Amino acid sequence: MGNQELLDGVKKASSMGPWMHGLLERLFPLCRSLTGPGNRETLSILSDYMELSVTEVPSGTDVFGWTVPDEWSPISAEITGPNGEVYANFADHNLHLVSSSQPIDMEIDLDELKEHIYSLPNNPDLIPYVTSYYAPRWGFCMRDKDKQNMQPGLYRARIDTKIKPGGLVYGEAVLEGETDKEILLSTYICHPSMAADNLAGVVLSAAIYKLLSRLKKRHYTYRFLFVPETIGAMCWLKNNETSKAVKNMHAGLVLSCVGINDQLIYEKSRQGNTELDRIAELVIGKTDIIEDFRPQQGSDERQFCSPGFNLPVGALMRMLPGWEFYHTSGDTPEQLTPEILASSLQATWKLLVGHEANEKRYVRTDLRGEPMLSKHGLYSTINIADKNEEKMRARKEHVSLMYLLNYADGEHDLVEIAKKCDADLLELGALAERLVDVGLLQ
Amino acid sequence: MGNQELLDGVKKASSMGPWMHGLLERLFPLCRSLTGPGNRETLSILSDYMELSVTEVPSGTDVFGWTVPDEWSPISAEITGPNGEVYANFADHNLHLVSSSQPIDMEIDLDELKEHIYSLPNNPDLIPYVTSYYAPRWGFCMRDKDKQNMQPGLYRARIDTKIKPGGLVYGEAVLEGETDKEILLSTYICHPSMAADNLAGVVLSAAIYKLLSRLKKRHYTYRFLFVPETIGAMCWLKNNETSKAVKNMHAGLVLSCVGINDQLIYEKSRQGNTELDRIAELVIGKTDIIEDFRPQQGSDERQFCSPGFNLPVGALMRMLPGWEFYHTSGDTPEQLTPEILASSLQATWKLLVGHEANEKRYVRTDLRGEPMLSKHGLYSTINIADKNEEKMRARKEHVSLMYLLNYADGEHDLVEIAKKCDADLLELGALAERLVDVGLLQ
Amino acid sequence: MGNQELLDGVKKASSMGPWMHGLLERLFPLCRSLTGPGNRETLSILSDYMELSVTEVPSGTDVFGWTVPDEWSPISAEITGPNGEVYANFADHNLHLVSSSQPIDMEIDLDELKEHIYSLPNNPDLIPYVTSYYAPRWGFCMRDKDKQNMQPGLYRARIDTKIKPGGLVYGEAVLEGETDKEILLSTYICHPSMAADNLAGVVLSAAIYKLLSRLKKRHYTYRFLFVPETIGAMCWLKNNETSKAVKNMHAGLVLSCVGINDQLIYEKSRQGNTELDRIAELVIGKTDIIEDFRPQQGSDERQFCSPGFNLPVGALMRMLPGWEFYHTSGDTPEQLTPEILASSLQATWKLLVGHEANEKRYVRTDLRGEPMLSKHGLYSTINIADKNEEKMRARKEHVSLMYLLNYADGEHDLVEIAKKCDADLLELGALAERLVDVGLLQ
């Protein structure tokens, strides 16, 4: 029964696109950053969907050589021109303000002001996303076409932000399983109004929580992290360095930029041959892209896979390098269809609960020869060569059946068998349960 | 001397096509099945060519969950039409009768009769081969064009078969070698009048027996099995579960459908890296097809390689899936030329006696530096660059020589060395013997 | 500092082409052979550039089944025609005389004489290089076009050579390092006036000596061998069978025909996975050719890699089989540009001193998380997506940096890390030193 429920989850996931897209639109307007009220509100909204505990790490805390910065609260920001016209109004789009910008209020000549205005000459219609977390700066981001239209003269630049000791917050939710072996799903919440990067990851995580919480039983314990990127993941690691959350981690997945591209990209763990890496070959490897661990790009898998931890954590993405809207105001909810969110959800589900299916080790009750399948209604009693479509489909299941019966010897796990016969892992798991029911496997 | 004899066998095999084809034609008319007189007669004919012992397993015996069926003896069968015309006469072709069909004698309306007539609408000129071994049925097989011509009306269906307790028979022959390590050659005898499937395997086996029996010495003991497919192989396994035939099995090969296709297909053992699998890479891998073990198709290797036995048994085939005459009256002796039989025989010979050549581990008498070859007449005393054809051919042997002298260090077997230098295993074996003669190897 | 010096060596090597070509032209006219004055003089010239010790192995010495021949001293040789015209004058080109030819002085009819004249009908303008080291013969080599013009009649063949007990000489130079683990660079000196085969190897070896001798420190001890091919290498092996030169050999490289082709060819050691083999994948594998060890061709790596020694020795070549001028008078200094010599030198340098760079095992001072790079001036404090060229180049170094920081865990050596991030080994070594300087690595 358990395996059939996992397989049913794939179907349920297929209908959750609109739900995810709705949540994404709710989270989109908030101005998130490394710290600040936007992050607190994001976690508060997520608390509507799961039992989320929030951890705060005080400003000034040393984290593996990094320092948690003061808390940053943006209030307003805009540029006023010589004739009173307004530019780069934070109220219009929170990307107009450089993330972590210092406050400022000054009259300033255009030439000097321009050194504080970031734009994309090659993409004049887009506001870029710029951060200056660890060096004090002030600045605005604008569409280059608007920047080019600014007339010479004296401008007023006004940025009202509060920067004072506070804390970095991250959220954590746990769904207990039969064992304390844990599977981690981590994603980051520090990006302001952009959809693919990274609200897609956030809503996918929430949807997985929802699906998993409905399972009648879970072998593994599942842990969900919502952290500011890099330093947030490091804060969690520092707080958990000796905890069972780290020590019992059986698998982990970072969701990052899970939105746009047609193809999914799975990045292997640094270990390179974890159970998740092997499951990914089945789920992702056939049609999409699998890459080795790459410490120079990606997201928080770099922290989980730093050599001092070397945790079994992979990453799932859906964005090719060089996407035209990457880190700009072009990364809007409209770029993401409910369908693509649902498809990402299905893949994530298969990656995670593949561990549940693979947890049991099936063994033939009698290992000698082939079982007589027709006795169990698993094969026709008449044998005639022909080739219509229906038989071909049955044949695909027959192939899985025969591989399962041959390799269920106690030495091969389901992942290995599925790979040998090119079967869907969850379907193979459900088939194995049927064979247990008729007494061929145990 | 021994290795040269193995190499000579390749040449002898090349002339045995007509002999094999003659034996095939002698065996073709018999109506074989799982059990019955056709099988007994087949084994009786094979006894003319080898010392064959016949084992009988009584009807009703349980074999790993299967039950040996009652013995089936077909006598006659035909359909008579409203105007006395005769259809599907067993006397004309034994495929007209469903194998293991129950006896029947009834008047029956065409519509109802047709439910008991099997034909191939897509191949209207061919009689299909249909079996119902383990469920009681009666039925006929016909060319679809004849079936379509049957006029409505009352027909008489008459099948005279005897089904009563008896036994399943299989044949076994052994050629003793110097050791009791065994090499098995197994093929199946349960198919009625079809040539490629599987009389080709039967006559190939007989030819191998003939060639091996003439060898002056054999290191390995060779065992030949002629069994009904699936349950016959299982009967032998059950009878030999604890015997030395199973315990000492060093290699095994199942011959199945060795007839039609241009390319040979070698299917590896379940173990996947046996000595035979490695030899096959040399013999088959260069020009033909090597596949991994596939439990969903093929023949009795599935029983030998069931997880409870996991014997070092591979399979040799020469038929692509979807052959148009597969399991039909189109699979006639004319489909098989003596040449293709001889070519299959050569490959089988190389696969089996490759073990003989590889049995000795050659080691250089002095492992330091290169031996001075010209001293032994193995290299020219003058060195001038030029490139005529004859020198190129000599060079191919020179390459083998140099690899042999470098890798004959006691750690590499001949298979490994042959693979490194792309040499024929049996030729390399003969070359090694020459180097023993001049004292360079021991 | 050390690693930067190794990287600087690559630049120094790039300017040493003219120096190497000059030395090559100095060595070109000498008539080298297995033994004799040409070899002694070659070693004497090399002594101008390094501390070379010369070892002499007496004629008649048994070397692993070979016998050191009597010393051969060619003085003069020519053919005089019926009308006094002179052919194949050794004074014109030392290839005119078969190497190791017996002395002769006789009047002889053209037909009979021609059996002692070697030429290349397919390359009528080239004098072939012919040797008869171990069988007594006399003979001349001529351009085939000249041979075809010889008129019938009585000729005088005169060869003045001395063949008497003496010795085979080889040269050896050592540059001591911090440890007595040794790296060997061997090349052969037995070929008369040919440039690519093998004066290129000789001058490359001398240039490496020059570069290495200037290094402030060397971890490894470097040993240089200049030997007659085959028997010379065997003489050295016999003399050193139990010496530390053999026992401490950490890596070895044979230079052979390092001259003509666009692509370098690296032939792996027989062991196949030595540190040098792995370094070669970085240096050679990306653009040029790497081959497995092949005992049937190449040069003295066959002796070093004979099974009784199986030393970690690879070979570097730059000549494709079938080069039109191979072993002919067409192999002249003009075939070799200083540029191609310099390019070969750079590759050889990288292969050898790659061991120096890889000798240290770098480890992160704190293995947890990613270090904060901006704190060390290794990363920008502002983050904005754009793509100009300069940033891309910085990015390549950034990639190396991130891989280094992730994999410097004490378990991966620099070669492995360089392979993972597709970096130049010596550049990565220099980068690692910079990270040691800022305290991120130790």
CA dihedral C347, C352, C354, C357 (to 10 degrees): -140
One-character DSSP codes across B14-31: HT-HHHHHHHHHHHTTS-
Task: From A309, A280, A232, select the one nearest A55 (Cα to Cα).
Answer: A232
Among candidates C65, C237, C307 on the partner chain, residue whose Cβ is nearest the Cβ of B409: C307
pLDDT at C390 over 70: no
**φ, ψ (nearest 5 deg) of residue A305:** -100, 15
Q: How far, in whole angstroms, is CA A190 from its chain's centroid? A: 13
Number of domains comprising chain B? 3
Check: CB of residue A39 under 8 Å from CB of residue A228: yes
Which residues on A lie below 8 Å from B322 (Cβ)? 387
* Three-state secondary-structure class, residue A34: coil
pLDDT band, very low/low/confident/very high, at B125 (cuts 50, 70, 90) = very high
- The minimum CA-CA distance between B137 and chain A, rounded to whole Å, is 9
CB within 8 Å: A372 and B302: no
Q: Which two tokens stand for residue A403?
A: 């591989």
| pLDDT tens profile C4-29 | 999 999 999 999 999 999 999 999 99
Q: Which two tokens stand for residue A422?
A: 């090119």
CB within 8 Å: A134 and C374: yes
AA letter at A311: L
| pLDDT tens profile C82-122 | 999 999 999 999 999 999 999 999 999 999 999 999 999 99
Q: Are residues B192 and B274 in the same domain?
A: yes
CB within 8 Å: A308 and C386: no
Q: Are residues C63 and C78 in the same domain?
A: no
Check: CB of residue B155 under 8 Å from CB of residue B81: yes
| pLDDT tens profile C297-349 | 899 999 999 999 999 999 999 977 778 899 999 999 999 999 999 999 999 99
Q: Which two tokens stand for residue A139?
A: 């600045």
Which residues on A lie below 8 Å from C387 (Cβ)? 322
Q: Which of B134, B271, B300 to mutate to test the interface with A (most CBs of A within 10 A)?
A: B134
Q: Which two tokens stand for residue B277?
A: 């699998």
Task: From C164, C168, C161, select the one nearest C94 (Cα to Cα).
Answer: C161
AA letter at A322: G
Q: Are residues A255 and A200 in the same domain?
A: yes
Among candidates A367, A372, A384 on the partner chain, residue whose Cβ is nearest the Cβ of B118: A384
Q: How far, in whole angstroms, is CA A180 from its chain's centroid? A: 22
Cβ contacts of A47 within 8 Å, gap of 6 or more: A171
Show which subunits contact A, needing at least 3 CB pairs below 8 angstroms.
B, C
AA letter at B244: K
Residue C233 lies inside a defined structural domain of this protein: yes
Q: How far, in whole angstroms, is CA B285 from its chain's centroid? A: 18
Window 358-377 of A: residues touching B by CB (8 A cutoff) are 364, 366-372, 374-375
Residue C442 lies inside a defined structural domain of this protein: no
Q: What pLDDT score was predicted for residue C106?
A: 97
Residue B211 lies inside a defined structural domain of this protein: yes
CB within 8 Å: C364 and A308: yes
Q: What pLDDT score was predicted for residue B227?
A: 98
The complex scores an ipTM of 0.93
Task: Measure Cα distances from B394 to A62, B45, B378, C46, C120 in Å.
Answer: 74, 47, 10, 39, 20
Which residues on C lie below 8 Å from A241 (Cβ)? 368
Task: Measure Cα distances from C58 to A75, C35, C69 in Å.
Answer: 95, 10, 9
Q: What pLDDT score was predicted for residue B9?
A: 97
Q: What pLDDT score was predicted for residue B386?
A: 65
One-character DSSP codes across C215-266: -S--SSEEEEEEE-TTHHHHHHHHHHTTSHHHHTEEEEEEE-S-SSSSS-EE
| pLDDT tens profile C102-112 | 999 999 999 99
CATH of the domain at C194: 3.40.630.10
pLDDT > 70: percent of chain C: 98
Among candidates C64, C132, C310 on the partner chain, residue whose Cβ is nearest the Cβ of B366: C64
Q: Are residues B256 and B350 in the same domain?
A: yes
One-character DSSP codes across A138-164: --EE--HHHHHHPPSSEEEEEEEEEEE
CATH of the domain at A77: 3.50.30.90
Q: Are residues B337 and B377 in the same domain?
A: no
Q: Are residues C216 and C296 in the same domain?
A: yes
Cα torsion angle, A121, A122, A123, A124, sign? positive
Check: CB of residue C237 under 8 Å from CB of residue C252: no
Tell me the HSE value of C71 on the side-chain side, using a 13 A CA sphere. Answer: 16
CB within 8 Å: B367 and C120: no
Nearest CA in chain B to C121: B386
Check: CB of residue C10 under 8 Å from CB of residue C345: no
Question: Between A and B, how many CB-CB pairs are < 8 A?
Answer: 90
Q: What pLDDT score was predicted for residue C334?
A: 95
Question: Which stretch of DSSP H or E encloses residue A61?
Answer: none
B71-80 and B86-87: which strand pairing? antiparallel
Q: Are residues B151 and B197 in the same domain?
A: no
Cα torsion angle, B402, B405, B406, B412, sign? positive
Q: Are residues A249 and A341 in the same domain?
A: yes
Which residues on A lie below 8 Å from B292 (Cβ)? 420
> From CA A385, how far away is CA A396, in angstroms rounded?
16
Check: CB of residue C354 under 8 Å from CB of residue C416: no
Q: Are residues C17 and C123 in the same domain?
A: no
Task: From B92, B91, B93, B137, select the one nearest B117 (Cα to Cα).
Answer: B137
- The minimum CA-CA distance between B385 and chain C, rounded to whole Å, is 7
The C-alpha R_g of chain A, in whole angstroms, comes to 26
Strand ordering across the sheet containing B289-291: B53-58, B167-175, B221-227, B182-188, B249-255, B313-317, B265-267, B289-291
CB within 8 Å: A382 and B305: no
Burial class (CB in 10 A: 0-12, 13-18, 19+), A116: middle
Q: What pLDDT score was predicted for residue C401?
A: 95
| pLDDT tens profile B307-320 | 999 999 999 999 77
Last residue of a domain, one of B299, B324, B358: B358
SS in 3 state form for A218-246?
Answer: CCCEEEEEEECCCHHHHHHHHHHCCCHHH
| pLDDT tens profile B136-191 | 999 999 999 999 999 999 999 999 999 999 999 999 999 999 999 999 999 999 99
Q: Is C117 on the interface with B (CB under 8 A)?
A: no
Last residue of a domain, one of B298, B333, B358: B358
AA letter at B390: E
Burial class (CB in 10 A: 0-12, 13-18, 19+), B393: exposed
Which residues on C lie below 8 Å from A329 (Cβ)? none
Q: What pLDDT score was predicted for residue C262?
A: 77
Q: Which two tokens stand for residue B186?
A: 């197994």
Measured CA angle at C298 (ends C293, C299), to 5 deg: 110
Q: Is C305 on the interface with B (CB under 8 A)?
A: yes
Q: Are residues B123 and B261 in the same domain?
A: no
Task: From A182, B412, A348, select the one nearest C307 (Cα to Cα).
Answer: B412
- The minimum CA-CA distance between B372 and chain C, rounded to whole Å, is 6
Q: Which two tokens stand for residue C233?
A: 């290498």
**Cβ atoms within 10 Å of A100's Cβ, excluding its own:** 25
Q: Is C327 on the interface with B (CB under 8 A)?
A: yes
Nearest CA in chain A to C396: A296
AA letter at B364: R
Last residue of a domain, one of C140, C164, C188: C164
Which residues on A lie below 8 Å from C369 (Cβ)? 63-66, 233-234, 237, 303, 306, 308-309
Measured CA angle at C319 (ends B374, C290), to 5 deg: 95
Task: Measure Cα distances from C333 to A55, C21, C196, C199, C240 in Å.
Answer: 75, 8, 8, 9, 34
> From CA A354, how far away is CA A429, in angstroms rounded?
9
Window 126-145 of A: residues touching C by CB (8 A cutoff) are 128-132, 134-135, 137
CB within 8 Å: A382 and B134: no
Q: Average pLDDT, stretch B256-272?
A: 91
| Residues linked to residue A54 through DSSP beta bridges, in sequence order | A171
Residue A24 lies inside a defined structural domain of this protein: yes
- Inter-axis angle of helices C17-27 and C200-213, to 10 degrees? 130
Measured CA angle at C126 (ends C125, C130), to 5 deg: 150
Tell me the HSE value of B333 on the side-chain side, using a 13 A CA sphere. Answer: 17
B313-317 and B249-255: which strand pairing? parallel
Residue A442 lies inside a defined structural domain of this protein: no
Question: Between A and C, how many CB-CB pairs are < 8 A?
Answer: 88
Q: What pLDDT score was predicted for residue B382?
A: 78
Q: Are residues A129 and A239 in the same domain?
A: no
Cβ contacts of C322 within 8 Å, gap of 6 or more: B387
Residue-range definition of the domain harbouring residue C86: 73-164
Nearest CA in chain C to B369: C303
Residues A327-349: b if buried by 16+ CB within 10 A, e if exposed: bbbbbebebbebebbbbbbbbbb
Q: What pLDDT score was predicted for residue B287?
A: 85
> From CA B246, how far away is CA B238, in angstroms rounded?
10
Among candidates B131, B303, B328 on the partner chain, residue whose Cβ is nearest the Cβ of A369: B303
Q: Which two tokens stand for residue B156?
A: 């008489």
Residues A152-180: b if buried by 16+ CB within 10 A, e if exposed: eeebbbbbebebeebbbbbbbbbbebeee
Q: Are residues A266 and A283 in the same domain?
A: yes
Residue ranges in chain A whose pLDDT is less than 50: none
Check: CB of residue B367 under 8 Å from CB of residue B409: yes
